[in-house]
Amino acid sequence: MNPESLPFDPARFSFAPVVTYDGEWYVFDFSMGYDPGLIRREKWGIGRYNEKRRGMYVAPQYQNRRNIHVGIDFWTPAGVPVCAFFEGEIAYLADNARPGDYGPTVVTRHSLDGAVLFALHGHLARASLDRLEKGQEIKKGQEFAEVGAHRENGGWEPHLHFQLSVEDPGRADMPGVVAEENIETALEKYPDPRLIVGDIY
C-alpha cells in the first residue's frame, strides 16, 4: 500500500467498513485459477488487489488480455449489505448486464481534504438501483446496496468488487482488470483500496 497514491492523507480519517463480517476472511489466490467451488465453500473471502488472475476473465470484453485485478473483491453470500465508507453522494449508477461484467453498479463520490475520490461498487443486487438516484447523499456507514446473486451480477459467485479512482470515470464503470502493458498507469489511477478498507490481508 502506498498512501502517496492518494491526493489526501488517509491516516487523518476514520472510514466505515464497506462490508461487515464478524469472522475471519479467507484470502483467495486467483493467480492459480478461478475455483467457484472453493468460493462457495469458504463463503466469506477476499480477492486481492494487483493480482494477475489466470483463466478467470473469459468474456469477450476482456480480449483474453485483461487479467490483472485493480480492485478488492469481498466474496460474501448474496444479500449482504454494502455500506458507504465515508460520507458522499451517488455519482453514477447502471446495470452493466453483459455476461462476465459488473451487473448492477454504483459509483460514489467523496470529498476528503478538498480532494475528490470515486469508489465503484460492482456485482450488486438489481433492487439496489431502484432505491438510488444520481446526486443522492449518503452518510458514512450507511447501507445503500446489497451484494447481488449469480443470476443478476454478471454471472459470478456473489461478491462485491470495490475499486477506487482518483479520476472521474464519467459513468458507472471502471476497468476492474487491466492488461499487463497498462498496469503501471492503472495502479496510479486506481489506488489500493486497503488505504480505505484497512489491512485486510
Residue-wise pLDDT for 101-142, tens only, equals 999 999 999 999 999 999 999 999 999 999 999 999 999 999
Task: Examine the pLDDT at 61 and tell me if it is beyond 90.
Answer: no
DSSP β-bridge partners for residue 19: none
Q: State the average pLDDT for the chain.
A: 94
What percent of the chain is modeled with pLDDT above 90? 86
Class of the CATH-defined domain 24-197: mainly beta
Spatial distance between the Cα atoms of 196 and 121, rounded to a whole number of angstroms: 14
pTM for this entry = 0.96
Phi/psi at 38 (nearest 5 deg)? -65, -40
What percent of the chain is modeled with pLDDT above 70? 100
Spatial distance between the Cα atoms of 23 and 32, rounded to a whole number of angstroms: 25
- Within 10 A of 130 (CB to CB), how many other CB atoms are there? 9
Q: What is the DSSP letter of 107?
A: E
